[in-house]
Chain A
Amino acid sequence: MSEALLSARGLVLAFGGVRAADGVDLEVGEGEILAIIGPNGAGKTTFINMVTGYLRPQAGSIRFAGREIAGLPPRRIVKLGIARSFQIPQLFTEHTVLANVALCLAARSGFWAPWTPLGGAGREARARAILEGLDLAHLAHTRADQLDEGARKLVDIAMALALEPRLLLMDEPTSGVAAAEKHAIMDRLLRALRARGVTAVFVEHDMEVVARHADRVAVWSQGRILAEGPPAKVLADPVVRREVIGVEGVAVPC
């Protein structure tokens, strides 16, 4: 079997007494959509922060496409093909939505060209295409600080997509999004990812979203992977239901 696209082994990271990662092993295969669930403060975001270079693990290794990346700075890691979106959207608030995406496209190539405008070199058209894929085209000329929370989340993801990653890490892509829209947004998002052949990991609290959209789910609890596997199996596991979901009796839709 070929090596997984992302392979974390024995990751350890403690903040004071709290062990956010306590010997975590996790693999993500090419093209897979992996959901990470777990209680608040379990270390899910810490995992994203370690993979993207924001935090350096105290022990363990992270290999991406056969290359060790643990401890590399974010700027290097994104160039290798890993992009992320944020739980709290990180937008360039004084720019339009189109400019936000175009800046990320430029970051990929042509950023330092001293004469070509931001929308030049085909960037405007490509930015529009990304926005259309996420049904955001009507917001192209809206300033990023004028958006509602759901749109900000999606623009944040559009910016990550503009970096043309092989692996996209998303921190709670549907939090702050109206419940009625969650599935529609995830459908759109995953369609855009699959169309580009992007592998994705997303942290999620909404079990319905996980059940419906993830290929595989990993349960992160107290710095360890408590269980992993297909959503139907993992979400039905009584231990997972008690530890993570916090209820045993309620039926989990699959």
Chain B
Amino acid sequence: MANRLLVAAAAALLLLLATAQPWLRFVLTIALSTGLAVLGIMMLLRAGQVSFGHALYVAAGAYTVAFLRPHSGEALLLVLAGAIVATGIGLLVGLFVTRYRDIFFGMLNLAFSMVAWSLLEKLYALTRGTDGIRVARPEVAGLALEGPAYEWALLLLALALALTSGGLVARYLRTPAGEALGAVKTRETRLEFAGISARRVLLQAYLASAALAGVGGAIAALATLHVTPLLAYWTHSGELVFVAILGGTGHVLGPFLGAVVFELVRVYAAASFPDAWQMILGLVLLGIILAATRGLVGLVDDLLARFGRRA
């Protein structure tokens, strides 16, 4: 129950921020889309596996929106299509990479994402290369919206997807297959001796992570209305891992908390110290790793525990 209250409070705070500072609506929508992708990264981290290539699935979702936009004017359908395409690619890549662990898993994911990035750059006739593709603003749930109304609709859509996905993932992590992710991390051979395919455990989480990243990418494309190959670039993959560590893997709120803090630090630091914002992000992460090993969500947990003891 305490968890639900916490999630509700976080969602309310987010909407309050978006109301108080209208220009934050866009930033927060992007943050939620990042949070969705990071939620998938978190599932893989539960199994001790770090993917340095999940920007591939973000790009898959985003480019699906860009390619299908001329054929469909409905944002909800475009998001669904983004999720399906990302999951499909996730299945092809996942069948291969889930044979590997640790550094090999991380680097193979990186390799696939770099292949995707170079294809998006080189196949100019199809992708318009580094120029990227402009996306015409679609309808949302049948409503043709403009300006602030579109921004609100997209933010609410992103929030609804974040809450649903967070709830589903939290539930999944408590099932045997979800709990077994931790077993893949600590004692994979024992799983095999219990009759369970560790690879299948990992593949399921991998497919979910690809789908989530695809949804995140689709939302990002609908918010920026422009997609470029940079979405698939390795620095973007690294950013997702960065946010996962920042937010913490102990609770499904972590990825979203991490993503919101990440985007806000980025926006404010970039405005105040245009030349040094990456350094500030670096210092923030250093602080988290040294002072709060369970990430921001662990920090919140500790604070609540202290508060609860005093009350």
Contacts and interface: CB of A to CB of B under 8 A. Distances in A.
A90 B196 contact: no
Interface in B181-240: 182-183, 185-187, 189-197
Given A92-B182, A103-B183, A75 B176 contact: no
B175 A114 contact: yes
Contacts of A94: 182, 185-186
B146 interface: no
A95 B178 CA distance: 12
B297 interface: no
Among B171, B179, B193, the one with the most A-chain Cβ atoms within 10 Å of its Cβ is B193
B196 A116 contact: no
B175 A92 contact: no
Contacts of B183: 92, 95, 103
B42 to A, nearest CB: 15
A105 to B, nearest CB: 9
Nearest to B196: A107
B194 A104 contact: yes
A161 B289 CA distance: 40
A10 interface: no
B96 interface: no
B100 interface: no
A143 B175 CA distance: 18
A75 B196 contact: yes
A111 B176 contact: yes
Contact of A91 (B178, B179, B185, B190): B190
Interface in B159-186: 171-172, 174-180, 182-183, 185-186
Contacts of B186: 91-95
A52 interface: yes
A110 interface: yes
> What is the predominant secondary structure among interface residues of chain A facing chain B?
loop
Contact of A110 (B176, B189, B190): B176
Given A92-B183, A94-B185, A95-B183, A113 B193 contact: no
B177 A90 contact: no
Contacts of B196: 75, 107, 111
Interface in A41-97: 52, 54, 73-75, 78-79, 83-84, 90-95
Contacts, number: 82
Nearest to B195: A78
B194 A113 contact: no
Among B191, B192, B195, the one with the most A-chain Cβ atoms within 10 Å of its Cβ is B195
Contact of B195 (A91, A107, A116): A107
Given A91-B187, A94-B182, A113 B176 contact: yes
Contact of A103 (B174, B179, B192): B179
Nearest to B200: A112
Contact of A78 (B171, B178, B182, B193): B193
Nearest to B194: A107
Given A90-B189, A117-B174, A159 B179 contact: no
Contacts of B190: 90-92, 159
Nearest to B172: A114
Nearest to B198: A75
Contacts of A116: 175-176
Contacts of B175: 113-118
Interface string A222-250: 00000000000000000000000000000
B187 A99 contact: no
Nearest to B178: A118
A203 interface: no
A79 B195 contact: yes
A106 interface: yes
A163 interface: yes
A93 B187 contact: yes
Contacts of A111: 176-177, 180, 196
B174 A118 contact: yes
Nearest to B176: A106
A118 B179 CA distance: 7
**What 5 pairs across the A-B complex have the smallest Cβ distances?**
A106-B176, A107-B194, A78-B195, A90-B190, A92-B183
Given A93-B186, A111-B180, A112-B176, 7 more contacts: A52-B193, A78-B193, A90-B193, A103-B176, A111-B196, A115-B171, A163-B194
Interface of B: 171-172, 174-180, 182-183, 185-187, 189-197
8 contacts: A73-B192, A74-B195, A92-B182, A95-B182, A107-B194, A110-B176, A111-B180, A114-B175
